[in-house]
Amino acid sequence: MKVLLLKDVYKLGRAGEVKKVADGYGRNFLLPQNLAMLATPGAIKQSERIRTAALAERARVNTEMGAVAERLTGVTLTFVARAGETGKLFGSVTTGDIAAAIERETGVRVDRRNIAHQPLREVGTHKVPLRLTVDLIPEITVIVNREGEQEGVPAPAPAPASPEPAPQGEAS
């Protein structure tokens, strides 16, 4: 099925482009969401108008989101999680956790689906890209520390338990 994209679609194309897609993808997702229309000869004639309108909209959104990208670039978030000896987490730091921490730290609301990263499952420092628009992708730093550690300094080892002396004087 050939469709004319009405809006930018992530991993497919930009508005005004004619793309060949699977029938189910077009019928069940692109057309109902008004992201595309069937590529008829009349629609193809409109593609240039759609492309210029989308270009103007993209420029407006990029200038709007430029200030947000400035604020987010270089942000460092720190999470503390339980982890094993090898550094693997018991669980993960999810994109939802990262989005909530960004909002708490900077006041900027970022949709978790715009965080272009899988959940973090290891202790360490990770670079995480945020997909604000097609053209603006700032990176933040996420540090995951093991529970009991502070900023990469290992926690002191617990003192060995001293054996308790057996009570004396009790005879059976």
Average pLDDT for the chain: 84
Query: Strands, DSSP E only, in 94-163?
Result: 120-122, 124-129, 139-146
**pTM check: above 0.85:** no
Instruction: Report the pLDDT averaged over residues 68-85.
Output: 88
What confidence score (pLDDT) does residue 108 get?
A: 86
Strands 76-81 and 120-122: unpaired
Output the pLDDT for position 7.
87
Q: How far is CA 50 from CA 5, 15, 135, 158, in A?
A: 9, 7, 19, 66
pLDDT per position as a tens digit, 4-59: 998 888 889 988 889 999 999 999 999 999 999 999 998 888 888 888 888 898 88
72: confidence class by pLDDT, cuts 50, 70, 90: confident
**pLDDT category of residue 171 using cuts at 50, 70 and 90:** low
Percentage of the chain lying above the pLDDT 90 cut:
32
Residues contacting 99, CB < 8 A, separation 6+:
109, 110, 111, 112, 115
Residue 68, both tokens: 């947000």
- Cα 94 to the chain's mean position, in Å? 8
CA neighbor of 36 nearest in space, from 69, 66, 61, 3: 3
Domains and CATH numbers, the chain: 2-61 (3.40.5.10), 73-146 (3.10.430.100)
Q: Could you give the 3-state DSSP secondary structure of residue 121?
A: strand
> For the segment 113-124, what is each residue's pLDDT rounded down to a tens digit?
888 878 889 999
